[in-house]
Amino acid sequence: MSVYTPVSEVELTGWLRNYSVGRLTACEPIKAGIENTNYFITTTQGRYVLTLFERLPADELPFYLHLMAHLARHGIPCPAPIADLSDQYLGSLKGKPAALVTRLPGRSLEQPGAQHCEELGALLGRMHLAGRSYSAYLENPRGPKWWRFAAREVMGFLEKPHQALLESELAYQGEHRFPDLPRGPVHADLFRDNALWEDSRISGVVDFYFAGVDCLLYDIAVCANDWCLKSNHGVEPGRMQALLAAYHSVRPVTALEREAWPVMLRAAALRFWLSRLYDFHLPRPGMLVHAHDPEHFRHVLESRIAAPVPWMA
Amino acid sequence: MSVYTPVSEVELTGWLRNYSVGRLTACEPIKAGIENTNYFITTTQGRYVLTLFERLPADELPFYLHLMAHLARHGIPCPAPIADLSDQYLGSLKGKPAALVTRLPGRSLEQPGAQHCEELGALLGRMHLAGRSYSAYLENPRGPKWWRFAAREVMGFLEKPHQALLESELAYQGEHRFPDLPRGPVHADLFRDNALWEDSRISGVVDFYFAGVDCLLYDIAVCANDWCLKSNHGVEPGRMQALLAAYHSVRPVTALEREAWPVMLRAAALRFWLSRLYDFHLPRPGMLVHAHDPEHFRHVLESRIAAPVPWMA
């Protein structure tokens, strides 16, 4: 579980007096998530999520909170930060930076079908369109610079063939950069567990704390490597086609993006292979969650290398 | 009905391309309301209300839209304006200023009980607290200046005793101003039909197009004269007490506000007597709605004069 900082009901009741959301009626720690302390909060006004930021640099938090606020006011179903009585999204609780955001209805889906991928593609397209008028900038914190840092840190833990794979993929990605792809704020972590569903519709996209500015295509690739996966780590063409066609119908992708697609799928696999290796071999002190298995994304990467997947829309 | 400007599905579909709210799936004209043209809009993303502003001065619209946006991001359940792809709340459709706002769930209530008035009082208190950090300014467009204008316009239509009542009440209000009462943005029209309910909770406060900056106490008085009314135009103490106590528990009222309360109830009755007289005797060309009966608020005013109602909390 991930409650690093316990907060009592008395402390919460007092803290909520900074807001115009009514009286606390219930609170419940949230067990999922590894970066922050989260509580479900119910008040006489509504349902919220309270987040205490345990690890994210304080100067990056406004980027995330204002991005969520920006997307929410464009109609994207993402958590909307609640401003306090001083009109601030970012507060402080138990000495930690803290924020209150709306709690969205719905549940995540383990086995999406083509129709779900179509819905996701359309939503991702709308999110990218809405994000283009967001003016704040934060470089994707898990971009190529971080890959090289993480690779150095984990290299020593790897078997020889995996070292070779990592080195050659970093070299390949270094030779295949696409500086002219359309860029903007990306979620960068839109796995199945970060989308909530209600009545076959996406009722919420959550956890923006890996967001940053990067190629929009990268965001699609992160989704594709999770939502369209087959058990052999290849992609299932029906779901992939549905995702890409729906995205394309909202934000038409360029010829350059189609060309970059197979490389971007590899980049997205590399990023998660690296972060999982890093969390596995170099767990942070006090990290209370079992790290995800790094092998999964090594297999995905190997599959994308062995069988390059063209754009399908 | 109040659709002054018809909009076709084709026009709407095209216009919605300025937004990131998905594809139009349904639209339906809204018959209530007398100031604007309104449609219920359903898209693949959600449910909205489209408003074409027929009469409000274009330079006042940002005050209303940004006030709703401000309150919504403070957790107040009011319509949240949706920003378009250029990040603007105010657009243009069929040559009219137009805005898209979220459609809130729930239904209005005709016969509120004390519990509903308690809920309303708490919400109004929260709305006033949240509004105090809103920095835009628009004088209450139906304040004392407008009373004097409207009185001149309607005076000739009134019977002698009603002329005398109007003149003496204007004089009384002129002698009883309270420049030091706490002020801020007020809804100023929070009648029963402008609050939506779901599961005994207020799920929406709508129609902010009479909002302005005025005494917060005036907003409570407008509510009290509608929500706490008995059939003889007096106030029902149980509901009144519930409204005021709940409000006071969120935003404690000052001694000066208690003192001003009986006068403010008369001011709120006067304002609606005048506007109903004005709409009745001087209907605007093309006004398609039957005017409300002006007599109702004359009776309310007479009752407040004959039996002054003290603050009850």
Q: Please check the confidence at residue B1 and state whether its pLDDT lies above 50.
A: no
Residues A123 and A189 placed together within one structural domain of the fold: yes
- Reading the block at residue B222, the tokens are 């407008």
Whether A78 shows a pLDDT value over 50: the answer reads yes
pLDDT band at residue B35 using 50, 70 and 90 as cut-offs: confident
pLDDT band at A284 (very low <50, low <70, confident <90, very high): confident
Q: Across residues A102-120, what is the average pLDDT?
A: 97
- Indicate if A46 and A177 belong to the same structural domain: no
- Asked if A283 and A173 sit in the same domain, the reply is yes
Residues B36 and B66 in one domain: yes
Same domain, A36 and A154: no
Closest CA to A77 of A114, A40, A102, A47: A102
Q: What is the mean pLDDT of chain B?
A: 95
Q: What does the alpha-carbon distance between residue A180 and residue A172 come to, in Å, rounded to a whole number?
A: 18
User: What residue type is B46 in one-letter code?
Assistant: G
- Residue A1 in any domain: the answer is no
ipTM summary value: 0.90
Q: Is B35 contained in some domain?
A: yes
Q: How far does the CA of residue A200 sit from the closest CA of chain B (Å)?
A: 11
Looking at chain B, how many residues does it have? 313
Statement to judge: residues B301 and B220 lie in one domain = yes
For residue A126, pLDDT beyond 50: yes
Whether the CB-CB separation of A75 and B19 falls below 8 Å is answered with yes
User: Do A34 and A183 sit in the same domain of this protein?
Assistant: no
Tokens 């999520």 belong to residue:
A49
Q: Do B75 and A129 touch (CB under 8 A)?
A: no
- pLDDT-based confidence at A286, cuts 50/70/90? low
Residue B28 belongs to a domain with what CATH number? 3.30.200.20
Work out the burial of residue A143: count CB atoms within 10 Å of its CB; fewer than 13 is exposed, 13-18 middle, 19 or more buried.
middle
Contact state of B83 with A74 under an 8 Å Cβ cutoff: yes
Looking at residue B32, what is its pLDDT? 73
The terminus-to-terminus CA distance of chain A in angstroms comes to 41
How does pLDDT run across A139-197, given as a tens digit for each residue? 999 999 999 999 999 999 999 999 999 999 999 999 998 999 999 999 999 999 999 99
CA atoms within 13 A on the CB side of B106: 22
- Judge if B125 and B237 occupy the same domain: yes
**Final residue belonging to a domain, choices A50, A72, A102:** A102
Residue B222 has pLDDT above 70, yes or no: yes
- Beta-bridge mates of residue A183: A215
Q: What is the CATH number of the domain that holds A167?
A: 3.90.1200.10
The verdict on residue B108 lying in a domain is: no
How far away is chain A from the Cα of B75, in angstroms, using its nearest Cα?
6
Q: Which residue of A has its CA nearest to B48?
A: A75
**Residue numbers of the domain that contains A136:** 114-306
Question: Residue B2 domain-assigned?
Answer: no
Task: Tell me how close the Cα of A87 comes to any Cα of chain B, in angstroms.
Answer: 6
Work out the average pLDDT over B202-219: 97
pLDDT at B33: 67
Check residue A313 and give its pLDDT.
79
Does a structural domain hold residue B187?
yes
User: Which residue is it, tokens 């704040």?
Assistant: A136
At residue A245, the pLDDT reads 98
Q: Are residues B98 and B177 in the same domain?
A: no
Say if B260 falls within a structural domain.
Answer: yes
Residue A303 CB burial class (10 angstroms; 0-12, 13-18, ≥19): buried
A20 and B83 in contact by Cβ < 8 A?
A: no
Same domain membership, residue B242 and residue B124: yes
> Would you call B20 and A74 a contact, using CB atoms and an 8 Å cutoff?
yes
For residue A291, pLDDT over 50 is answered with yes
Residue of B nearest to A128 (CA): B20
Q: Do A56 and A140 fall into the same domain? A: no
Residues A96, A58 share a domain: yes
User: Chain A neighbours among B 73-112 (CB < 8 Å)?
Assistant: 73-77, 80-87, 102
Q: How far is CA B67 from CA A77, A87, A184, B124, B186, in A?
A: 21, 13, 29, 15, 10
Confidence grade of residue A4 (pLDDT, cut at 50, 70, 90): confident
Domain end call among A102, A123, A158: A102
pLDDT at position A1 is 43
Residues in chain A: 313
**How many independent structural domains does chain A possess?**
2
Answer whether residue A161 is part of any domain. Answer: yes
Distance (Å) from the C-alpha of residue A117 to the closest C-alpha of chain B? 15
The residue out of B50, B72, B102 marking a domain boundary is B102
pLDDT interval class at A283 (50, 70, 90):
confident
- Taking CA–CA distances from A88, the nearest residue in chain B reads B74
Residues of A in contact with B75 (CB under 8 A): 19-21, 45-46, 48, 82, 102
Of A17, A49, A67, A73, which to mutate for an interface test with B (greatest number of B Cβ within 10 Å)?
A: A73
| CB neighbour burial string for B148-168, b if at least 16 within 10 angstroms, e if fewer | eebbeebeeebeeebeebbee
Per-residue pLDDT, averaged over B158-169, amounts to 98
CA dihedral of residues B191, B193, B196, B198 (deg, nearest 10): 110
Per-residue pLDDT, B275: 95
Q: What are phi and psi of B42, to 5 degrees?
A: -120, 135
Span B37-78, pLDDT tens digits: 999 999 999 999 999 999 888 899 999 999 999 999 999 999
Asked if A46 has any chain B CB less than 8 Å from its own CB, the reply is yes
The answer to the question of residue A107 being in a domain is no
